[in-house]
A and B are shown apart, each in its own frame.
Chain A
Amino acid sequence: MTHLSLRGSGERFFAACEAALGMRPPTAPNMVASAGGKALLWLGPDEWLAIGQEAAPLREALAGIHSSVVDVTSSRKSLVVSGERAEEILSKAATLDFNVGAFPVGSCAQTNIARTQGIIWRRSTQEFTIYVRSSFAPYLRAWLDDAAQV
């Protein structure tokens, strides 16, 4: 699955993105726009992680608009934490409130996870996807496995 780091702002930018991607980058902080296996995760006021999108048409659409599209597919690996204890395990690793009322399905957050950082995307009540920098993935995987045992 392609990962693109998408940067930009302003109405021209949003319009171009929407035209090229078929979805508009969410402007509400920490929200995810997703459809058909593609997603746009809000990472900052002018920054998104585009998942499952092609870079070339996007770059083309954004030509002449202050923006950046960088392929970061290899930058992160994903870990899935799911099941009845998903909230509990994440609560050992991160300081966020993982209660579904505070962290609804379809939202994401960047935060510290154990002693590294990552993006957490709530896919359903009991399922979270974590995107972590590739070099940290073995560490985080082992940490979460250990946390799940106690």
Chain B
Amino acid sequence: MLLIRCPWCGPRDETEFRCGGEAHIARPGDPQALDDAAWAEYVFMRNNPKGWFRERWVHSAGCRRWFNAERHTVTHEIRRTYKPGEP
């Protein structure tokens, strides 16, 4: 049971959040310009590392804000959470 630090509300129980998968995948500006493979890459292909992973979370039962986290997928340690737009 993770304890996740919402960048606004502070540490809250995992049950207040929803994980949105890999972070920093920008929607292509002009999808029509992409070929099928490039589009599939955006829609479906994801990194799935064993180790540190940058992922998106939303504080769905709290302030409903999306943010990013760096979490280790083996130890589950979260070394940092940060607001969208922050590197």
B49, CB-defined interface residue at 8 Å:
no
Give CA–CA (A95, B10) in the complex, Å.
14
Q: How far is the CB of A44 from chain B (nearest CB, A)?
A: 4
Contact of B15 among A30, A47, A95, A109 (CB under 8 A): A95
- The verdict on A110 contacting B63 (CB below 8 Å), with A29-B8, A44-B8, A45-B8 known, is yes
Interface size class of B (residues with CB under 8 A): 10 to 19
Contacts between chains A and B (CB distance < 8 A), count: 33
**CB distance B65 to A95 under 8 Å?**
no
Interface size class of A (residues with CB under 8 A): 10 to 19
**CB distance A111 to B63 under 8 Å?**
no
A112, CB-defined interface residue at 8 Å:
yes
B12, CB-defined interface residue at 8 Å:
yes
B77, CB-defined interface residue at 8 Å:
no
B62, CB-defined interface residue at 8 Å:
yes
B residues 2-17 in Cβ contact with A at 8 Å: 8-10, 12-13, 15-16
Contact of B16 among A29, A43, A112 (CB under 8 A): A112
B46, CB-defined interface residue at 8 Å:
no
A residues 35-89 in Cβ contact with B at 8 Å: 43-45, 47
B76, CB-defined interface residue at 8 Å:
no
* B-side contacts of A112, CB under 8 Å: 15-16, 61
What is the chain A residue whose CB lies nearest that of B9? A29
Task: Encode contact with A along B58-71: 1 for CB under 8 Å, 0 otherwise.
Answer: 00011111000000
A117, CB-defined interface residue at 8 Å:
yes
